[in-house]
Structure formats: C-alpha cells, structure tokens
Amino acid sequence: MSNASPDRDGGARERLQRWLPKLVLSPSCVLVLFFVYGFIAWTSYISFSDSGMMPDYTWVGLHQWSRLWTSWTWGIALHNIWVFGLLYIVSCIVLGLLLAILLDQRIRAEGVLRTIYLYPMALSFIVTGTAWQWFLNPGLGLEKTMHDLGWQSFSFNWLIDSDMAIYTVIIAAVWQATGFVMAMFLAGLRGIDGEMIKAAQIDGAPVWKIYVRIIIPQLRPIFLSAVVVLAHLAIKSFDLIVAMTGGGPGNATAVPATFMYSYAFSRNEMGIAAASAVFMLAVIAALIIPYLYSELRESRS
Amino acid sequence: MSFLHINNVHKRFGETHVLKGIDIAIEQGDFLVLVGPSGCGKSTLLNMIAGLDSISEGELLLDGRCINDLHPSRRDIAMVFQSYALYPSMTVAGNIGFGLEMRKVPRKERREAVDRVARLLQIENLLERKPGQLSGGQRQRVAMGRALVRDPQLFLFDEPLSNLDAKLRVDMRTEIKQLHQRLGTTIVYVTHDQIEAMTLASRIAVMRGGELQQLGTPQAVYDDPNNLFVAGFMGSPSMNLVKARIVEQSGLPVAQVATDGATLTLPIVRDRDALRGWCDRDVILGLRPEAITDPASANHGEGNIHEAELPVALVEPTGADLYVVTSLGGTNVNARMRPGTPLRAGERTRFAFDVSRMVVFDPESEQRIRDAYTADVASLEATA
C-alpha cells in the first residue's frame, strides 16, 4: 500500500498537468464559440428568415437576399465601398511608400517625424471623423478661414456635395492610415542589404531605377500585408462615416456597414441587415483566409 | 607610372581619422591583397577605390587618370561583396546582365556576354534560377560573374569568401587564383585571413589602425617583416617572438636568450651592421617555427644552423608536421619538426636554429632593426 501511493500521486499530478491547460482555456473557448461563431450562425440564419423589427424564425429562403440586391441604397453602398476601398488602399500605399522612402534618406529628426506621421493611427475613427468634419465644414473650417483671411472666392464644399462627399471621407481615412503604412514600408526598407544598393550603384543604375528594379520588388510581402490590412479596414469602415457625414448627404456616402446599421436599428429590416452583414463577412473572409493561410504556411516552413 | 596609384590617401569621419595617408602602387595584372585585423581601414580603402566612400585627402589614380570624383559606375571597376549582394527579384541571368543593361548594351550582345561568363564559371544551368534557390558557393559564382561580365579595368573583392564553409572556401580560393592567372586581371582584394592573403596575392599590403605597415610580395612580408605587428600577424602558427639581449662576443654581436637555468647564445647573421649599435640592449628576436627544427631536418646546405639542447614542454602533432613547444626567454616557442620524431613532454632534445632567418626588433618602437641595405631593398620593393 505504502509503495503504491507515491505512484498514484505521480499519476494524478501528470493527469492534472495534462488537463490543466485545457481547463483554463475552455471558458474563453466556450465564450468565443458562443458569442462569435454562435452569433455568426445566428445572423446567417436571420438572413434567411422573415425578421423585421424583432427576430422571426420563419424560413423565407433567399427572399431577404433578393430584396438586398434589388435595393437602391445597397447599390449606392456597394459603389461607394468600391470607390472608397480602391482609392483608400492605393493612396495609402503610394503615400506611405513615398514617405517611407523620403524618411529612409538618413535625414535628421527622423524619430520625431516618424512619430508625427504615426500619431493619427492612435486616434479613434470617431475623433478623426469629427475633426475632419469640422475642418471641411464650409461654415466652420477651411473655407471660412480662407474667407476670414480675405480670399472671398475660395470654395471647398465637398462635404455637403453629394457627388464629392465620399472623397472627403477618403481624405480623412488616408490621413489616418498613411503613417501606419509608412511605418510598415520603413521597416521593410531598413531590412534591405546596403551592399545590394552599392552593387547597383557600381552597376550604373540611377537612383529611381534602384528603387523600381531592386528595392520595391523586395517589398512585395509588405504590399500584400498593407493591402489586406487596409482592405478589411475599408470594409469595416463605419465610425468614420458616421462621424463625418452620417452616410449623407442623403445616401451619398452610405457604405455596407452604415447600410447594415440603419436597416437593423432604424428601419426595422433585420433580415436584410443580416444578409448584408453576412455578405461583408464573406468578403473579408475571402481576403483574410488566403492571407493567413499563406502567412502560416510560410512561418511553418 | 603604375596602373593603380593610391597616393597619400586619408579618410576622416568627423573627428576620427580612419586612414592616415596610405601609399600603394600596383601594376596591371597585380593581385593586391589588403590584409589586417578588423577596424584597420582596409574595407574603407576598398570602398574609396570603388567610389562608395569619399576621399578626404589624397589622390586615386587608375591607369593615369584621377578617379577621385568619378561616380562608381564610371570608374571602370567591378566589385564582389561579402554578402554577394545579389538582386533577389531577378534571375541569375538578370543579375549578371544588370550592369550591361544599365549601360544600354543591346539585348542580344548582353545575352552573349552573360552566356560567355556563365560558361567560364560553370553556372550555365543556373541562369534561370533566382538567387534564393542557390547554395552559398553558387551565389559566390554569380557575384563573380556579375563582376566579370563587364570586363572592367579593376576588380575589387570585399572579403568574398568569409561567408563560405571552410572546405568551399579553399576551393573558391583556388578558383579565384586560377581566374586571375587565366584572365590576367588586376585585382584588389580585402581579407582578414592571412592565409588567403599569402596564397592569392602578388602584393600584400598589411594594414593596422589606418596605417600601412608593409607592402611587398607575400614572401617578403613573410620573411622580412617591417615590425612586430606584421611578424605576428602573418603566418600560422605565428612567428616566435622572444626577449633577448645583444652582447658583443669576439667583435661580433650575438643574441643571448634566457632558457631554464642557462643562457642560449645565438649568433647574428642578418642585419649585423645595424645590430652592432645595439650591444648590451634588450631586443625581441623573431623566429618562424620552421626555422627551429630537429637537427636532421635542418637546412644545413644554405642555412646557418645553431644547435642547442632544450626541454620539451608540449608536443602537438598535426599529421603533416610535429610542433614542439619549448620555453625561450620566458615565452613558449613553437618548433616545427618532422612528424614521427619520438618526443614526449618533459624530455630534452636538440633543437636546430636557422639563425640566417632570424629577425630582430626594437622592443620599444616595435620596428625591425635592419641594415641600411636591406631597408633600401624593402622600400624599393614597396614603391615598385
């Protein structure tokens, strides 16, 4: 008996060691399963139901989806997200790369400048949106300042122009994210072997060709990361638009996220809202999953 | 007029004086190796020849023209880097041809030049690969191909073998030497490895702390070092440096070295005139391990052999040789003996000193004490 008990103790400890991590992780695992994946499933179901102001579990098949795709506002929202996403991603990458290249020229006060460019990223979209709304508001901001300074003919009213309002949102969004993209590119530029640039100089390549032919092709993984990060930020963009234009004038700056919010909470069309939410999830998943897959495969090999 | 003339070149980074007036001249077809410990300025000098670092003072002449202010691409040079510095996004062919492409050589000619160099370096089957798919030795070849394809006046190598493993390094060393002999190119080569310097160079420039210590043929630098630093740096195992005292015996200077309990007296053969002035003063003797042997393998024909019995402290067989350690003047001294010599630590044996190869240094200035005549020869050789 006395010989057997240490053995049994050791076995119990071993079992505890084996089970403890699982025990500790299981509550959060359950919470994530329920609140994330559970609600994804629930929302997907709602998009096939007859829900209006309250959830209604009557199955109506693709009825809500066909209503979504025939909706005029949804068309505007999709068009806007295309324009917004494309210009946002391209401008952020072009400006970010340009700033990174300029900052990489061993200039003085680089640390200060880098921080200045990065700061906008520390602000929430609500703050950015509100600040830019004030700044671009013709009665308060830039236009009024110019008028007060004596330039009476100055006019910049894009914020209240339904054709141009989406571009003001793009300006604010680009202002916020460019510094972050710049930091990514700067890290990439710093990782490039200096001897390679010397070799290219001896080979007789002018500076712009060194960048185009040798340096920028090596930044390909950073381009990929930047596109994925910016694309999902663009699709999720909600607070910036709410703060700046509230989706207006009219529906001029509606995007899928604001569409979903207004249909779910102010227009009592939960079914359509759920369908639009599932659609956005599908688009983001289509972007992120291949990216994560390639990243994880790379780190494993 | 020499082919490459480095004329009193200085380099300053702010307050730091990195190169303090370097004078080197080499002829066309020479293989100059800049060798020295890290931080001696050898890479800086190479970068200045390449045009990647500016020249603070002095003049750089290549084939009679001053290249001080020419852009690297216009100096008619090519460089092989330590990290190879291949362009990862281009194929091997693209890498080799990039310099020609930038010089607007037509595509067809470029292709021919690349093929010719690829054949020379036996990398024809790699031309369509990316650098990431190559082994270290293959990358090294591509880097050399990129330099060779342009057929420049001067090749610069910046520690090109230091990233290779030991076996491959020896093979590539041989190959570089063969290429040099076959193509007759002029090369400036930087390394910290004195064996690389000895095997490759037609001229060695030993540098330390931004100053040129000695310039000469490998054999001259090895046998006739200018100072203690060169003596200790070149050669492996390094030269034995032994404290001694010069005294006069029957009208001639001799060196006296303390051994355990006795005094070993070695006659002076070289630099006898200069050493007459050093009687009753302390000096440092320099003796290569191969100048201390067993009596049977000593060079009795040419050398001036002096034998003495000394205790054996340690025996180190390397296979090809047997290094026997004894104590002279308070320091361990390596002697190179025939392998298979039956010796064990603690025994006493006869050592044969080839005093005709012994050199003597001033312990304070660390400079060689040499006759006016040999000093003349050495300086002549340096400027040749």
- What is the arithmetic mean of pLDDT over B310-331? 90
Question: Under an 8 A CB cutoff, do B89 and A201 touch?
Answer: no
Q: Are residues A12 and A81 in the same domain?
A: no
Nearest CB partner across the interface for A202, out of B73, B83, B90: B73
State the count of interchain CB pairs (< 8 A) between A and B. Answer: 62
pLDDT higher than threshold 50 for residue A4: no
- C-beta neighbour count of B381 within 10 angstroms: 16
- What is the pLDDT confidence band of residue B381, given thresholds at 50, 70 and 90? low
List the single range of A156-160, B60-64, B266-270 with lowest mean pLDDT.
A156-160
Domain ranges of chain B: 4-232, 238-371
The pLDDT of residue A1 is 43
A5-30 pLDDT per residue, tens: 555 666 888 888 888 888 899 999 99
- What is the arithmetic mean of pLDDT over B28-33? 93
Q: Which residues on A lie below 8 Å from B144 (Cβ)?
A: none
Q: Which of A197, A201, A202 to mutate to test the interface with B (most CBs of B within 10 A)?
A: A202
Pinpoint the alpha helices (H) of B125-192: 136-148, 166-183
Residue A58 lies in a domain: no
Q: Are residues A40 and A78 in the same domain?
A: no
Q: Which helix (H) or strand (E) holds A82?
A: helix A72-103
- Classified as helix, coil or strand, B42 is helix
Question: Under an 8 A CB cutoff, do A214 and B103 touch?
Answer: no
Residue A134 lies in a domain: yes
Residue A56 lies in a domain: no
pLDDT higher than threshold 60 for residue B201: yes
Question: Under an 8 A CB cutoff, do B102 and A204 touch?
Answer: yes
- What is the pLDDT confidence band of residue B371, given thresholds at 50, 70 and 90? confident
Q: Which residues on B lie below 8 Å from A202 (Cβ)?
A: 50-52, 72-73, 77-79, 99
- What is the pLDDT confidence band of residue A299, given thresholds at 50, 70 and 90? low
| Higher pLDDT, residue B53 or A138 | B53
Q: Are residues A13 and A146 in the same domain?
A: no
Report residue B341: phi and psi, to 5°. -60, 120
Distance of residue B118 Cα from the nearest chain A Cα, in angstroms: 18
Tell me if B77 sits within 8 A of A182, measured CB to CB: no
Share of chain A above pLDDT 90, in %: 27
Please indicate if any CB of chain B lies within 8 Å of the CB of A44: no
pLDDT higher than threshold 80 for residue B279: yes
Average pLDDT taken over every residue of chain B: 89
- Out of 3.40.50.1820, 3.90.1200.10, 3.10.129.10, 3.40.50.300, the CATH code matching B4-232 is 3.40.50.300
Q: Which residues on B lie below 8 Å from A200 (Cβ)?
A: 87, 98
DSSP assigned state of B239 = P
Length of chain B: 384
Q: Are residues A176 and A288 in the same domain?
A: yes
Q: Are residues A33 and A77 in the same domain?
A: no
Q: Are residues A144 and A239 in the same domain?
A: yes
Distance of residue A210 Cα from the nearest chain B Cα, in angstroms: 10
Q: Which residues on A lie below 8 Å from B88 (Cβ)?
A: 217-218
Q: pTM to 2 decimals? A: 0.79
Q: In which order are the strands placed within the sheet that holds B281-287?
A: B263-267, B252-258, B240-249, B281-287, B359-361
Q: Are residues A34 and A176 in the same domain?
A: no
Q: Are residues A38 and A69 in the same domain?
A: no
Long-range contacts of A213-216 (CB under 8 A, 24+ apart): A213/B87, A213/B89, A213/B90, A213/B98, A214/B87, A214/B89, A215/A189, A216/A97
Q: Are residues A34 and A78 in the same domain?
A: no
pLDDT higher than threshold 80 for residue B260: no
Q: Are residues A42 and A73 in the same domain?
A: no
Structural domains in chain A (count): 2
pLDDT higher than threshold 80 for residue B376: no
Please indicate if any CB of chain B lies within 8 Å of the CB of A144: no
Please indicate if any CB of chain B lies within 8 Å of the CB of A193: yes
Question: Under an 8 A CB cutoff, do B83 and A200 touch?
Answer: no
Q: Are residues A149 and A27 in the same domain?
A: no
Residue A59 lies in a domain: no
Q: Are residues A245 and A151 in the same domain?
A: yes
- What is the pLDDT confidence band of residue A187, given thresholds at 50, 70 and 90? very high
CA B48 to CA B358: how far, in whole Å?
Answer: 38
Q: In which order are the strands placed within the sheet that holds B65-66?
A: B16-26, B4-13, B57-62, B65-66
List the single range of A184-198, A244-258, B155-169, B176-190 with lowest mean pLDDT.
A244-258
Residue of B nearest to A213 (CA): B89
A26-67 pLDDT per residue, tens: 999 999 999 999 999 999 998 898 888 888 888 888 888 988
Distance of residue B92 Cα from the nearest chain A Cα, in angstroms: 14
Tell me if B290 sits within 8 A of B336, measured CB to CB: yes
Question: Under an 8 A CB cutoff, do A198 and B79 touch?
Answer: yes
Nearest CB partner across the interface for A204, out of B81, B89, B99: B99
Q: Which residues on A lie below 8 Å from B85 (Cβ)?
A: 193, 195-196, 198-199
Please indicate if any CB of chain B lies within 8 Å of the CB of A199: yes
pLDDT higher than threshold 70 for residue A169: yes
pLDDT higher than threshold 80 for residue B241: yes
- Classified as helix, coil or strand, B193 is coil
- What is the arithmetic mean of pLDDT over B323-352? 89
Can you give the C-alpha Rg of chain B in angstroms?
Answer: 24
Residue A52 lies in a domain: no
The pLDDT of residue A276 is 93
Tell me if B20 sits within 8 A of B176, measured CB to CB: no
pLDDT higher than threshold 90 for residue B32: yes
Residue A151 lies in a domain: yes
Are β-strands B281-287 and B240-249 bridged in parallel, bridged antiparallel, or unpaired? Answer: antiparallel
CA B153 to CA B62: how far, in whole Å?
Answer: 9
- What is the pLDDT confidence band of residue B378, given thresholds at 50, 70 and 90? low
Q: Which of B87, B104, B159 to mutate to test the interface with A (most CBs of A within 10 A)?
A: B87
The pLDDT of residue B252 is 87
pLDDT higher than threshold 80 for residue B267: yes
Please indicate if any CB of chain B lies within 8 Å of the CB of A202: yes
Question: Under an 8 A CB cutoff, do B85 and A198 touch?
Answer: yes
Residue of A nearest to B90 (CA): A214
- What is the arithmetic mean of pLDDT over B80-88? 91
Nearest CB partner across the interface for B87, out of A196, A201, A204: A196
Average pLDDT taken over every residue of chain A: 86
Residue of A nearest to B98 (CA): A203
pLDDT higher than threshold 60 for residue B375: no
- Classified as helix, coil or strand, B243 is strand
Nearest CB partner across the interface for B99, out of A196, A198, A203: A203
Residue A177 lies in a domain: yes
Tokens of B22: 């370097």
pLDDT higher than threshold 90 for residue A140: no
Question: Under an 8 A CB cutoff, do A202 and B79 touch?
Answer: yes
Nearest CB partner across the interface for B73, out of A195, A203, A213: A203
Q: Which helix (H) or strand (E) holds A297?
A: helix A270-300
The pLDDT of residue A2 is 47
Portion 204-223 of A in contact with B at CB < 8 A: 204-205, 209, 213-214, 217-218
Nearest CB partner across the interface for A193, out of B47, B85, B103: B85
CA B265 to chain centre: 32
Cα separations (Å) of A40 from A32, A190, A284?
11, 41, 14
Q: Looking at residue A294, which CATH number applies to its domain?
A: 1.10.3720.10
CA B276 to CA B246: how far, in whole Å?
Answer: 9
Q: In which order are the strands placed within the sheet that holds B331-337?
A: B314-317, B322-328, B331-337
Name the residue type at position A223.
F
- What is the pLDDT confidence band of residue B377, given thresholds at 50, 70 and 90? low
Q: Which residues on A lie below 8 Å from B74 (Cβ)?
A: 204
Tell me if A230 sits within 8 A of A93, measured CB to CB: yes
- Domain holding A21, by residue range, is 1-46
A234-256 pLDDT per residue, tens: 887 888 888 888 777 878 888 88
Residue A243 lies in a domain: yes
Question: Under an 8 A CB cutoff, do A217 and B89 touch?
Answer: yes
pLDDT higher than threshold 70 for residue B11: yes
Residue carrying structure tokens 């030049």:
B113
pLDDT higher than threshold 80 for residue A125: yes
